[in-house]
C-alpha cells in the first residue's frame, strides 16, 4: 500500500470519524488542529478503501454532489436541467440557507431524487463532497462534484453521460476520474437580474482558450478516491489518477482546454453585476474569504455568442413554470 502525506490526510479527513467531528466543531481553525491529531488513523481508512476497491462491482449511474447557500431563485432550473441530461441522483448539502431553498426542492426531496442534508458552519465544501463519497459508494454511482452555477453540457444532444463515463473510466487501467474543463459565461452586459432562466439569459461567453477555463471539476469512481481536499480534484488511492477527455493524465485542478470539447462545464460565475454582488455577500464554501469585485471584471467574458443551451429551453421553462413561483 502506497502512503503519501496527501493520501493520508485525504483519507483521514474523509473518514466517518472526522466528518462526524466536523459536524460538531464550528470553528474551522479548531477543525484543522483536530484533523492533525487523527491523521495517523488515515492508514486504516486507506487500507479499507484499497481492499474494497478490488471488489470491482458495477456502478449504475451518475450522481452529483453540491453544497449550496441561498440559491432558491436558481435551484429549480439547475435541478431540472440535470434530470433532463440523465443524472441519477443529487446529493445536496444546504449550508445554512436563509431563503426558501428547502421548500423549492421539496417535491424532489420527497421523491428521493434529491438526497437533502443540512450542513452547518463555514468552510464545509470538502466535508460535503466527502460525505457524498460515502453515499455514492453505497448507492453504486459515479460522482460529479460541482457548484450550483455549473451546468455540464454535452456537445452531442444524443449522447448519454453514463455511457461516456463508462467508456472513459476504466479502473483496470488506473483511471479513476474524468477532469472536465470550465467554460466561463459572462454577464451578457446585464447590470441587474433578468427575469428569464440562467441558461437562456446568459448567452455570451469566453473563448475556449480563456485562462480560467483551465480549471476543471472531476467526475470520479468513488471506490478509488481517498477523499477531497480541494473542490476541483480528488486524492486517489494508490494506482489511480484522473484523465481528460483525450485520455491524458491530469494531476491537480488544471487542464489545458480543448476547442469545442464533447463535454464541458458551462460556468455562470458572474450572472449580472447585481447578482454577483449578492453572491459575493454569501462568502465562499471552501475558505473564509470574500470575493472582491475584481473577480467580476476578470470573469465577465462576453466575446463569443453561444446559445447552445437553447435546446433545453422549452423543457426547462415548463418545469420552472410548474414550480408556481416567480422570483423578483
Domain ranges, ordered by start, for the chain: 5-322
- Cβ atoms of 79 and 104 closer than 8 Å: no
Pairing of strands 263-267, 150-154: antiparallel
How confident is the prediction for the chain on average, in pLDDT? 92
Q: In this predicted structure, what is the pLDDT of residue 321?
A: 85
Q: Which residue has the cell 408556481?
A: 324
- CA separation for the pair 85, 165 (Å, rounded): 13
Nearest Cα neighbor of 191 from 297, 271, 274 is 274
Q: In this predicted structure, what is the pLDDT of residue 67?
A: 98
- CA separation for the pair 168, 249 (Å, rounded): 12
Weakest-pLDDT range from 3-7, 71-75, 137-141, 226-230: 3-7
Q: Over 70: is that where the pLDDT of 91 sits? A: yes
Grid coordinates in use for 104? 423549492
Q: In this predicted structure, what is the pLDDT of residue 144?
A: 98
Residues 6+ apart with CB under 8 A from 22: 31, 124, 127
Q: In this predicted structure, what is the pLDDT of residue 280?
A: 80
- CA separation for the pair 216, 61 (Å, rounded): 21
pLDDT bin (cut points 50, 70, 90) of residue 21 is: very high
pTM of this structure: 0.93
- CA separation for the pair 166, 68 (Å, rounded): 28
Q: What percent of the chain has pLDDT over 70?
A: 93
Q: Over 70: is that where the pLDDT of 1 sits? A: no
Q: What percent of the chain has pLDDT over 90?
A: 83
Pairing of strands 249-250, 241-243: antiparallel
Q: What is the pLDDT averaged over residues 317-324?
A: 81
Q: Over 90: is that where the pLDDT of 54 sits? A: no
3-state secondary structure (DSSP) of residue 77: helix
Nearest Cα neighbor of 169 from 142, 150, 200, 140 is 142
Q: Note the residue count of the chain.
A: 328
Weakest-pLDDT range from 75-84, 194-203, 224-233, 288-297: 288-297
pLDDT bin (cut points 50, 70, 90) of residue 328 is: very low
The values of phi and psi at residue 294, to 5°, are -60, -30
Question: H or E stretch including 92?
Answer: strand 89-94
pLDDT in tens, 151-194: 999 999 888 999 999 999 876 789 999 999 999 999 999 999 99
* 97 vs 288 pLDDT, higher one: 97
Q: What is the pLDDT averaged over residues 117-131?
A: 97
Euclidean distance between the first and final Cα of the chain, in Å? 55
Amino acid at each position: 500500500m502506497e502512503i503519501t502525506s496527501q493520501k493520508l490526510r485525504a483519507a483521514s479527513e474523509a473518514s466517518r470519524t472526522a466528518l462526524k467531528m466536523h459536524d460538531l466543531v464550528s470553528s474551522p481553525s479548531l477543525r484543522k488542529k483536530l484533523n492533525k491529531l487523527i491523521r495517523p488513523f488515515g492508514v486504516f481508512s486507506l487500507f479499507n478503501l484499497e481492499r474494497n476497491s478490488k471488489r470491482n462491482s458495477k456502478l449504475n449511474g451518475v450522481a452529483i454532489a453540491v453544497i449550496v447557500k441561498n440559491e432558491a431563485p436558481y435551484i429549480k432550473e439547475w435541478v431540472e436541467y440535470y434530470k433532463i441530461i440523465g443524472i441519477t441522483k443529487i446529493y445536496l448539502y444546504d449550508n445554512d440557507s436563509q431563503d426558501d431553498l428547502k421548500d423549492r426542492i421539496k417535491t424532489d426531496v420527497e421523491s428521493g431524487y434529491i438526497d437533502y442534508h443540512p450542513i452547518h458552519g463555514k468552510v464545509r465544501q470538502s466535508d460535503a463532497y466527502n460525505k457524498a463519497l460515502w453515499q455514492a459508494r453505497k448507492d453504486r454511482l459515479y460522482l460529479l462534484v460541482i457548484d450550483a452555477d455549473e451546468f455540464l453540457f454535452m456537445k452531442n444532444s444524443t449522447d448519454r453521460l453514463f455511457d461516456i463515463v463508462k467508456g472513459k473510466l476504466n479502473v483496470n487501467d488506473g483511471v479513476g476520474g474524468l477532469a472536465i474543463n470550465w467554460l466561463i459565461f459572462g454577464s451578457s452586459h446585464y447590470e441587474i437580474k433578468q427575469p428569464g432562466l440562467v441558461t437562456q439569459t446568459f448567452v455570451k461567453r469566453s473563448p475556449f482558450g480563456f485562462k480560467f477555463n483551465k480549471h476543471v471539476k472531476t467526475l470520479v469512481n468513488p471506490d478509488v478516491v481517498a477523499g477531497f481536499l480541494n473542490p476541483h480534484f480528488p486524492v486517489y488511492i494508490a494506482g489511480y489518477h484522473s484523465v481528460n477527455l483525450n485520455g491524458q493524465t491530469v494531476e491537480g485542478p488544471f487542464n489545458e482546454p480543448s476547442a469545442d470539447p464533447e463535454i464541458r462545464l458551462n460556468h455562470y460565475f458572474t450572472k449580472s453585476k447585481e447578482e454577483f454582488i449578492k453572491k459575493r455577500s454569501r462568502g465562499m464554501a471552501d475558505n473564509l474569504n470574500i470575493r472582491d469585485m475584481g473577480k467580476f471584471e476578470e470573469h465577465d467574458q462576453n466575446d463569443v455568442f453561444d446559445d447552445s443551451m437553447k435546446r433545453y429551453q422549452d423543457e426547462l421553462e415548463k418545469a420552472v413554470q410548474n414550480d408556481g413561483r416567480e422570483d423578483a
